[in-house]
Structure formats: structure tokens, C-alpha cells
Amino acid sequence: MRYISTRGDRTPRQFCDILLEGLAPDGGLYLPVSYPRVGQAELTRLRQVLQTEGYAGLAYEILSLYIDDIPASDLRALCEKTYTEAVFGTPEITPVSRLGQSGILLQALSNGPTLAFKDMAMQLLGNLFEYELGRRGETLNILGATSGDTGSAAEYAMRGKQGVRVFMTSPHGRMSAFQQAQMFSLMDDNIINIAIVGVFDDCQDIVKAVSNDLAFKQKHRIGTVNSINWARMLAQVVYYFAGYFYATSGNEQRVSFCVPSGNFGNVCAGHVARSMGLPIDRLVVATNENDVLDEFFRTGAYRVRGAANTFETSSPSMDISKASNFERFIFDLLGRDGAATKALFSEALSTRSEFDLAADPRFQAASTQFGFASGKSIHSDRLRTIAQVHADCGVTIDPHTADAVKVALEHLRPGVPMIALETALPIKFAETIVEALGAPPARPAKFDGIEALPKRVKVLPNDVLAVKALIAEVS
Ligand SMILES: *Cc1c(COP(=O)(O)O)cnc(C)c1O
């Protein structure tokens, strides 16, 4: 399999060439030249693989369709090392359960080390990075900014890995006590927590400034692990197949997925799975108050918001102003026309912060051909849904999952199972659970007393030079 850019650069690259890169050189995102088609016989075989070899076996089968520059035995070993019951809590890795009589199934993606779905991809990325860097005899310093979920997922994936060091900036004193404890209690030498006296945007600006200093970037081998990384997307494709197999007994059944969305990473993996031939009826995008994506799928207008119009909500991992993976879907929607995609994303968006496809005949295909639908959930919906699911089913869901369940209920179709993706455990967002239920959620035993553990974090002023000095000193 070869990879090309969404903005027209068709220089063929292999998987490991793009693994350690972010954007393509022309500013686009990488996608495979085509999506491998999985026919009926192959679907049946994959269903059997899941039954006999488990999730790791299925992951190997899907990944091997896209990766041909890692020997098969090594790739299999990487999958087996990643998707274990010890790391993900259950033998099914992403078990599917029925949510009472609601007609909705819940697929659990958040039983990994940091209790959010980002572990599903990040754990694999950690093992892939270690493998590839070892093979090349190189090292990498990952620099990131986090408001919570991404940073901890990256740290738990990279801790103790050879050849990789993580510098993770976060806004000083602004993460929840639980999130701070998760990250700052890590004592591994290759994990460096940096609390910036500022807000999340300041952290992001620092990361951008360091990355834009090409000489510094090269000298200190700076890399990232953000959600545009193709390997992360590919890892997520696997659980759509697993969810489908867990929820059905044969391939004639179609299912729908409802996905709580921010950067369009999770649901874009669903789009890839559907494009491969997985029998998905609808892909329902659920947004919170930051409804850029819902607006697009309803109207055809994609309007990026500024910081002032990006709301802080009670499903904070979806508080985005623009969806960084959306360009991948638009590329497919426009018939993989790189020049047209470039015109929208590098010209229209940078000059007017919006584009509108309402009058473009191809926009219809978003729902008719690609199966997309969307909906929105706000704070009061979230509280009501958490309370309702708790009362009806005795299950406590987190605020992001509640957004998905709320929107899923609005898109049920007779005879089509609807799988809502659970993207975090409620303990990560205890305040909102208390608001909805009057009591905090249960805490998994392994997190007992985590807030009292010793912490390791370096507090720095909101200053690029201070961060650069720390990187230069350590690396
Ligand atoms: C990151 C995240 C999301 C949003 O996923 P995208 O891939 O950005 O659409 C939803 N829920 C939780 C809990 C997350 O951490």
C-alpha cells in the first residue's frame, strides 16, 4: 500500500515513511492510494479470526492490508503485544453490550490505561514508534500540548519505550485533579511533564512555535503524536470491524454507529471501515455545543470558529473550533480531487474561515453514498441522558458517551442495530456525573488514592524559550 496527500502530492510513500511524520509536505493529510475492499468471503474469514485469535488477530489482519514494509511476523507480534487483556481489561478488548431496552448497543473503547478511547490507537503507536526507531537506529522527542485525554494517552503509550521521549505541556492548574494525578504520577525517565502558566491555547502556541523553528526541530528530533497521524486512524478502523462482529451473527445485517466527535478522527476511521465494505448503514456524528460538524452535515457549510466562539463544555474533549481530520473525508467526497481539496482547505479556509458545499451536487453524497448523518447534544441533554441511562439500565456513562447516546436515540431505524461508541469512563469527568446523578461515579480499583501519589512536573512560564531550554538540556 502506498500513501498520498489530500492536497495533490501523489509521490507514493510507504507506511513507515509517514509513520513518524505529521502533515504531508504540501500541508495535506496522508491517505492510502485506495481502500482495500473486503468482500463477503473475507468478512466471514475476519469474523472467524476474531473468534479464534481474538482482537489482536483481527488487528493484524486489518493492519496488514495497509502495511507492507513491516515483516508479517513483526507486525503480528506488535499487535499481540498491544491488544492484551492485561492492558485493556477484558478479553474482547472493546466489548459490546446492550443498553437496556433503548435499542442502543454500547461499544466500550475506554478500558485502556487512561480510560479514554485514545488508548486504542496510542498504545499501538507507542509500540510502532519503538519498533521503527529501533530499526532505524534513531531517537525521537515528542512534543505535545494537552488539556487532558491526549497527553495522558500519549504518556502511557510511550512510557519506558526505547528511543522515545515525551515532553507534554499542559495548562498549569487547569486539568482535573484526576487527570493531573494520572499524568504527573508517572516516574519514567522518558516522560517529562511541563505545566505552563497559561491556558491550553498557550501550550498549543508553544508547540507550534517550536515546530516552526526547523533548525531546532531537526537538531532535537522533535515529533508529534496528534490525531492526524494515519497510524492512529488505522488502529481505530479495527474496532469498527470488531464492533460489527460482536453485534451481529452474520454479514447480511447492517449496523449503524454513533460517534461523539471533535477532531473527526474517530468517525473518520468508521468512514474508512465503511469504504472497505463493512456493512455500515449510517455513521452518525454527535457533536456538543461546538457543532461545526453538525452544521456541515445539515447544511453543507463548514465554518471554522475562532477561540472566542469555541465553548468550554462539560464534554471537554470535543471542544474544538475546527476538525483536524475532516479534510480526509472531504477529499473522498470530492472524488479524491487533490486540487479541489487544496482550494477549500488552504485557500477558502485560510482567507474566509469557511467554505460552503450546499450548492455542490457532490454534497448530497455525504449522506446518500457515504452514509453520514449528524446531531448535537448540549449540557442539559448530557445531564438528562446520563440520568436516564442510569435510571433505566443501571449504567453510568461519561458526558461524551452521553452526547453519542442522545444523538443515537434520534437516529434509530427499525431493524438496524445502533452502536454508540463509549469514549471515556465517567470517573474522568466526575464533576458532571455528580451534577447529573447527585453522586460521584465508581472508581476502578487501580486508581484508588491516585491523587495522593508523588508528582513529577516542571512548572514553566508561558515562554517558548523556557520550553526550548528544557528540551535542549534533557535531550
Ligand atoms: C478525543 C475524544 C473525543 C473526540 O474524538 P475525535 O477523534 O477528536 O473526534 C471524544 N470523546 C473523548 C472522551 C475523547 O477523548
Per-residue pLDDT of the chain (475 residues; tens, 9 = 90+): 999 999 999 999 999 999 988 889 899 999 999 999 999 999 999 999 999 999 999 999 999 999 999 999 999 999 999 999 999 999 999 999 999 888 899 999 999 999 999 999 999 999 999 999 999 999 999 999 998 788 999 999 999 999 999 999 999 988 888 889 999 999 999 999 999 998 888 898 899 899 889 899 999 999 888 889 999 999 999 999 999 999 999 999 999 999 999 999 999 999 999 999 999 999 999 999 999 999 999 999 999 988 788 898 999 999 888 898 999 999 999 999 999 999 999 999 889 999 999 999 999 999 999 999 999 999 999 999 999 999 999 999 999 999 999 999 999 999 999 999 999 999 999 999 999 999 999 988 888 999 999 999 999 999 999 999 999 999 8
- Pocket lining: 375 vs ligand 1, CB cutoff 6 Å: no
Residue 219 placed within a domain: no
* 18-33 residue pLDDT tens: 998 888 989 999 999 9
- Specify the residue with its C-alpha closest to ligand 1, atom 7: 265
Atom number in ligand 1 closest to CA 263: 8
How far, in Å, CA of 360 to CA of 218, rounded?
42
* 302-338 residue pLDDT tens: 999 887 888 989 999 998 888 989 999 999 999 999 9
Query: Which residue range is the domain that position 259 belongs to?
Result: 96-114+230-437
**Rounded to the nearest whole angstrom, what is the distance from the C-alpha of residue 382 to the centroid of ligand 1?**
16
Q: CB–CB of 407/258 below 8 Å? A: yes
Residue 334 placed within a domain: yes
* 381-414 residue pLDDT tens: 999 999 999 999 999 999 999 999 999 999 999 9
Q: Which amino acid type is present at position 21?
A: E
CATH number assigned to the domain comprising residue 339: 3.40.50.1100
Coil, strand, or helix at residue 383? helix
Residue 369 placed within a domain: yes
Atom number in ligand 1 closest to CA 324: 8
Residue 218 placed within a domain: no
- Pocket lining: 270 vs ligand 1, CB cutoff 6 Å: no
Residue 234 placed within a domain: yes
DSSP string of 394-440? S----HHHHHHHHHHHHT-BTTB-EEEEE-B-GGGGHHHHHHHHSSP
- Pocket lining: 256 vs ligand 1, CB cutoff 6 Å: no
pLDDT of residue 144: 93
- Pocket lining: 112 vs ligand 1, CB cutoff 6 Å: no
Residue 335 placed within a domain: yes
Q: Which residues are tagged catalytic?
A: 118
- Pocket lining: 226 vs ligand 1, CB cutoff 6 Å: no
Residue 184 placed within a domain: no
Contact residues for 218 (Cβ-Cβ < 8 A; gap 6+):
none
Number of domains in the chain: 1
Residue 408 placed within a domain: yes
